[in-house]
Structure 1
């Protein structure tokens, strides 16, 4: 039996009507997409606004660090220059080499005493100043070995003594001290000899 048009209107909705209702119930996707498109440029603008500030702060920090390093360098150079002047004004002894082992030891002790009095602690600076006082044979020796020796005070004194005050020379002076007798030697002369040799006593 065929249904009338009125019956179709009051009956179950047709398939096409259901699809239209379903589409009306769905959220409008284009609006959501539009919000995302707007949010991305806003975030990029925010990052772009912060970037110059960060770059500026980083550049300022680097400039401050460089200024501090430059100040420390100038201060260090000024201090070294000041110590050099103090050292040379003290009229330090020179060393020209030679076979006299006692003079070798005396020169080294005088230089060390000057460093202590003037409060020169930098090991490399000590080497520079001591080497400047080497003349003649001493100067030639240093010119030959300076590129082979570490520029620390310990290395310098060790190499210097190996050359100009080796163990055999120390042993010879030690024996002289042990065999020292006053006999007819004047007291003043004996006292001076005793003092010079006493440093090599065992």
Structure 2
């Protein structure tokens, strides 16, 4: 019996080698993540420790997203880098959430983050602010900054580029809106560019009259 088993074992094909390549790839991915994190740390990203102040949570998101404008990385890497800046209670929260939601993208991260640190009542107020937002006496650049900041809380109102363009154009100051509306732009970037150009042209046109008025005043004195 023992001799028979020995012969059968000799006839079996050799065992396949262990899959070394996936292990190597995993180590390479870890090395890239470490290198990316070190580079991101040099930019001194804002830290977030949690708490009950939604304005601090919003300020942290704005600070992180500002860095992402110049620090090129994938959506998944954004989540990894943002998680690196969480400390204290926020870090403990993410350790629980991150284990359940592996592979989430940046938009999904913001959704769970705001759900935790931005109460619904504050969110509703931001939507109300966006609904009432007008350019007023602000410059186009100032108005655009407010528009962009508040729009993320009311995505249902700007979920297409056309709707975003109409919303932005609809509450521009009258003199600027007239110059933009006549062109019937369908893209937000075109509406913004035209509004900025119109504001600049109007300022240039008014400048000689202001200078002339000052000169006449100096002569009368």
Normalised by the length of structure 1, the TM-score is 0.50
1:28-177 correspondence runs (5 A):
48=7, 51-52=9-10, 54=12, 57-58=14-15, 61=16, 64-96=17-49, 98-100=53-55, 102-103=58-59, 105-107=61-63, 109-110=65-66, 117-119=72-74, 121=76, 127-135=79-87, 139-144=88-93, 146-147=95-96, 150-152=100-102, 153=104, 156-177=109-130
What SS class does the counterpart of residue 96 from structure 2 fall into? coil
Supply the distance in 1 between the matched residues of 2:75 and 2:145 (Cα, whole angstroms): 30
Q: How far does the alpha carbon of each residue in 1:122-171 deviate from its partner, in whole angstroms, 9 at most, with x for none?
A: 6xxx5543222124xxx323325633662433664333111222332222
Which ranges of structure 1 fall in alignment gaps of 5 or more residues?
Answer: 1-43
Please, which runs of 5 or more residues in structure 2 have no aligned partner?
Answer: 158-221
CA distance in 2, matches of 1:72, 1:191: 44
> For the aligned residues, what is the CA RMSD?
4.0
Correspondent of 2:131 among 166, 171, 178: 178
How many residues are paired up? 146
Whose radius of gyration is greater, 1 or 2? 1
Q: Which has the higher contact order (CA 8 A, sep 6+)?
A: 1
TM-aligned CA distance change 1:54 to 1:68, over 3 Å:
farther
1:19-55 CA distance string (max 9 Å, x none): xxxxxxxxxxxxxxxxxxxxxxxxx68x63x744747
State how far apart, in whole Å, the 2-side matches of 1:195 and 1:107 are: 14
Change (3 A) 1:53 1:88: farther
Cα 1:77–1:196, aligned 2, differ >3 Å: closer, same or farther? Answer: closer
How many angstroms does 1:172 deviate by? 0.7
Name the CA shift for 1:168/1:109 in 2 (closer, same or farther; >3 Å): farther
